């Protein structure tokens, strides 16, 4: 009998020791391959959609505006002016020149777009529904004359020092077909290619568009003698629709119906799983919503274009955000760059999570009480058990208040958490921002405070003060 008990006891001990230890956030964070030339997590992406001032009435200037938001990367710029591209390059900006299916005919500066265009069965050129009446006909990827126009734009930009390219409407003729806007393309080149394959011209559009983008990237890289990043407007951050997968990263419009942290997190996580990077662009009349979107996008590992020179649709004027509205957040990005770069997604919790069937005390972060809109994004250095861990806190409420959170310290460090520091953006001060931009020292653009905690076994209870600028970064250091 005693022997049996001893056996049973040994078995229980063995089972207990087999029980996996709690995974730490450094173990759940996955090292991902960021496309080398995509924006870094700490880049401030800025789009002057055209060179500004555009004319004598235009009071805006591209580079001084870029500086006022601490931009580091210039995206989605429609230009063929080598002097403008050279200036961006000389000021240290990586500039992406924009390409579209509607690039005008050569020589540069032409307002015509007739050469190498898609035609329907009746032999008429076509355009997208929202471009009707603009005389803006879409080019055919199988037409050598359009290929020549498209590559001429690439060549001119690269020679002037452009860093890469952003392609708007990247599905080109296939977009018109997929959305049943037009039955295309029946030009001589598409007909010939389709005939040789024994199919109809519309059947070859998707594969032709993919192959067009592959060829253009290859030719660009041969010319430049280096990798040349190509991004596209993958609307809403989608990576499933063709041909988004051909691109290194996305610079995409995100509509108001997607303006929430859950969507941002899911979309950016999906991009990272596909080894892509994601930049969003968003503008809205409500400043607080734009500010929360900027903060949450960075907290998820994406970048949000500075809301400046943004198309709003509906006959509204283009949107130009002001430094006093948004520079505090972008200055904060510069200030906390070491806590952004190198860190990967490890855990996400919101105060809305349904915890009726889980033991939320075991989660890395949990909340003291149900609240609608507090979001915590844990980011860690994969496999580095010693590096501090970062928890981005975003308060999505319109009326913000202090709130409580709990940390399970065994999820962060084997020997526990020694200290918690909270970093937050600070209110706008023009002089401080100018000094930071001039010196590269962003230390005046954030505030730091130590957060005390109460220990309850492995659980630490923290009281977070009201996040005046929507965003707070907790830095957890090991014992």
- What dihedral do alpha carbons 55, 88, 139, 126 form, nearest 10°? -40
Comparison of 172 and 190: residue with beta carbon closer to Zn ion: 190
Comparison of 47 and 142: residue with beta carbon closer to Zn ion: 142
Strands (E), 351-437: 365-367, 374-380, 389-395, 403-408, 417-425
- Nearest distance from C-beta of residue 207 to Zn ion, angstroms: 13
Comparison of 190 and 417: residue with beta carbon closer to Zn ion: 190
Comparison of 176 and 436: residue with beta carbon closer to Zn ion: 176
Comparison of 189 and 339: residue with beta carbon closer to Zn ion: 189
> ∠ CA 316-292-271 to the nearest 5 degrees?
90
DSSP secondary structure of 97-136: EEE-TTPPPSSTT-----TTB-B-TTS-B---GGGTTS--
- Nearest distance from C-beta of residue 149 to Zn ion, angstroms: 14
- Nearest distance from C-beta of residue 185 to Zn ion, angstroms: 3
- Nearest distance from C-beta of residue 140 to Zn ion, angstroms: 3
Comparison of 212 and 244: residue with beta carbon closer to Zn ion: 212
* CB contact set of 288 (below 8 Å; sequence gap of 6+): 398, 470
- Nearest distance from C-beta of residue 99 to Zn ion, angstroms: 18
CB 478 within 8 A of CB 388: yes
Helix ranges (DSSP H) in 311-391 = 323-335
Comparison of 118 and 283: residue with beta carbon closer to Zn ion: 118
Which of left, alpha, beta for 236 (phi over 0: left; psi -120 to 50: alpha)?
left
- How far apart are alpha carbons 110 and 131 in whole angstroms? 18
Comparison of 202 and 321: residue with beta carbon closer to Zn ion: 202
Instruction: Using the structure block, give the residue that is written with the tokens 């957040």.
Output: 329
- Nearest distance from C-beta of residue 135 to Zn ion, angstroms: 19
- Nearest distance from C-beta of residue 83 to Zn ion, angstroms: 35
- Nearest distance from C-beta of residue 205 to Zn ion, angstroms: 8
| Site residues, Zn ion (CB under 5 A) | 140, 142, 185, 187, 190
Peptide bond into 69 cis (omega under 30): no
| Residue burial 34-71, b: 16+ Cβ < 10 Å; e: rest | bbebbbebbbbbbbbbbbbeeeeeeeeebbebbbbbbb
């Amino acid at each position: 009998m005693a022997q049996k008990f001893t056996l049973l006891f040994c078995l229980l001990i063995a089972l207990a020791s087999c029980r996996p230890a709690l995974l730490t956030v450094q173990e759940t964070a996955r090292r991902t391959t960021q496309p080398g030339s995509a924006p870094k997590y700490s880049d401030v992406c800025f789009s002057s959609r055209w060179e500004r001032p555009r004319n004598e009435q235009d009071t805006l200037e591209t580079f001084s505006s870029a500086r006022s938001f601490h931009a580091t990367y210039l995206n989605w710029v429609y230009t063929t002016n080598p002097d403008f591209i050279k200036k961006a390059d000389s000021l240290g900006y990586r500039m992406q020149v924009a390409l579209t299916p509607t690039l005008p005919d050569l020589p540069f500066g032409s307002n015509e777009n007739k050469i190498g265009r898609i035609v329907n069965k009746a032999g008429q050129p076509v355009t997208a529904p929202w471009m009707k009446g603009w005389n803006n006909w879409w080019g055919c990827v199988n037409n050598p004359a359009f290929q020549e126009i498209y590559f001429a734009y690439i060549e001119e930009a690269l020679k002037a020092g452009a860093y890469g390219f952003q392609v708007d409407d990247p599905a080109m003729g296939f977009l018109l077909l997929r959305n049943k806007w037009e039955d295309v393309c029946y030009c001589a080149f598409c007909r010939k290619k389709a005939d040789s394959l024994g199919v109809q011209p519309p059947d070859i559009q998707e594969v032709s568009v993919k192959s067009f983008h592959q060829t253009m990237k290859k030719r660009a890289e041969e010319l430049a003698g280096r990798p040349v990043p190509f991004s596209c407007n993958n609307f809403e951050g989608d990576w499933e629709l063709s041909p988004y997968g051909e691109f290194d990263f996305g610079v995409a419009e995100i509509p108001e119906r997607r303006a929430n942290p859950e969507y941002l997190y899911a979309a950016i996580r999906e991009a990272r799983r596909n080894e892509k990077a994601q930049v969003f662009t968003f503008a809205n009349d409500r400043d607080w919503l734009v500010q929360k979107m900027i903060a949450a996008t960075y907290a998820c590992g994406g970048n949000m274009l500075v809301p400046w020179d943004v198309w709003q649709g509906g006959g509204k004027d283009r949107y130009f955000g002001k430094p006093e509205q948004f520079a505090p957040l972008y200055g904060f990005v510069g200030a906390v760059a070491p806590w952004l770069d190198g860190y990967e997604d490890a855990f996400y919790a919101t105060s809305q999570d349904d915890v009726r069937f889980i033991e939320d005390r075991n989660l890395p972060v949990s909340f003291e009480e149900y609240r609608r809109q507090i979001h915590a994004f844990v980011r860690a250095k994969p496999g580095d058990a010693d590096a501090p861990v970062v928890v981005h806190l975003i308060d999505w409420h319109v009326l913000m208040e202090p709130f409580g959170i709990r940390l399970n310290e065994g999820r962060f460090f084997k020997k526990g958490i020694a200290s918690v520091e909270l970093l937050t953006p600070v209110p706008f001060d023009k002089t401080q921002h100018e000094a930071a931009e001039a010196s590269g020292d962003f230390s005046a653009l954030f505030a730091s405070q130590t957060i005390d905690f109460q220990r309850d076994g492995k659980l630490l209870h923290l009281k977070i003060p009201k996040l005046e600028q929507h965003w707070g970064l907790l830095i957890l250091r090991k014992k």
